[in-house]
Amino acid sequence: MSSTREFALVTHSGRNDSIELARGIVTRLTAAGVCVSVPDEELDMFPDGAVRPLPVPMDDPDVPATPDDHRPEVVIVLGGDGTFLRAARYARPYGAAMTGVNLGHVGFLAETEPEMIDTVVDRLLAGAYSVQERMTLDIDVFDPARPHAKQRTWALNEASLERTQRERILEVAIGVDGHPVTSFGCDGVLCSTPTGSTAYAFSAGGPVMWPQVEAMLIVPNAAHALFARPLVVAPSSVVSVDVADRGQDALLAADGRRVLDVPAGHRVVVRAGRQPIRIARLTDADFAGRLVAKFHLPTTGFRDS
């Protein structure tokens, strides 16, 4: 096992400011004796050979991490929330802590802004950060008649079951812990973590949950029903969504990135993930302050000037 420290770097490579920032970070880290790895598609950003490739992990939640000779302790993410979700795929198998530098619009998952990058690097090198674990989801898709033939994936934000034909609604039945709860026609159903409650689930009408809450959120998307409210269930619960066997096919999108086909008659099962995502916290800012800042929420009453 190598004793050299390794950091991974994942960058929004479509922006010049991201690339220049990434090169500066690599220069500082390598000068400090830290090995830097990046995804294969980003190697060309560093033509001097200052980085090495970061292996592409498997998406199956049961696949173990790669050998110890290639285990980054931190993944630095330069970009917005989409880049952060892409980077989570690399961080999860290694148990690496993630920290994001926001170069997007909202950047809700990012810890800091670009002007703080020197402080970020200094604190990471010194190990001056705490780690917060974020709940993930493990997702199975299968035919109930053949339950052992499963497709598997995972998500940090949400698992989104979506219709494939715009002219037809998706007929689903939802169960929790083996008990039928409700059924309706809809555009889709989202199962979200607290981290994902400010993303797609929020847009679909779900509540905002603090990251420290241990729970899963079920949010119907444009349901054709009088009772189709968001549900918050225990982290130990198992959520099932059955697609009607005489209805249309669907698809399952995990964090909007990993997509599985869900034919009519198949079942989606979602449970709390066995492997959390670890977030490197560099500041003491709480979630309420982040919520106010990112969504530009008013904090004074209408009578105040």
Let me know if 81 is a catalytic residue.
yes
Catalytic residue among 60, 69, 81, 143: 81
CB 168 within 8 A of CB 228: no
Grouping H, G, I as helix, E, B as strand and the rest as coil, residue 48 is coil
Q: Can you state the angle between helices 117-126 and 16-31, rounded to 10 degrees?
A: 30
Helices (H), the chain: 16-31, 81-94, 117-126, 200-203, 287-295
- The residues near 174 (Cβ < 8 Å, ≥ 6 apart) are 180, 181, 182, 183, 189, 218, 239, 240, 241, 242
Burial classification of residue 126, based on how many CB atoms lie within 10 Å of its CB (0-12 exposed, 13-18 middle, 19 or more buried) = exposed
Burial classification of residue 193, based on how many CB atoms lie within 10 Å of its CB (0-12 exposed, 13-18 middle, 19 or more buried) = buried
β-strand partners of 238: 271
CB 81 within 8 A of CB 109: yes
Token pair belonging to 72: 């980054």
Grouping H, G, I as helix, E, B as strand and the rest as coil, residue 215 is coil
CB 45 within 8 A of CB 12: no
CB 222: neighbour CB atoms within 10 A? 14
Instruction: Compute the distance between CA of residue 8 and CA of residue 52 in angstroms, rounded to an integer.
Output: 9
Instruction: Compute the distance between CA of residue 191 and CA of residue 140 in angstroms, rounded to an integer.
Output: 13
Looking at the annotation, which residues are catalytic? 81
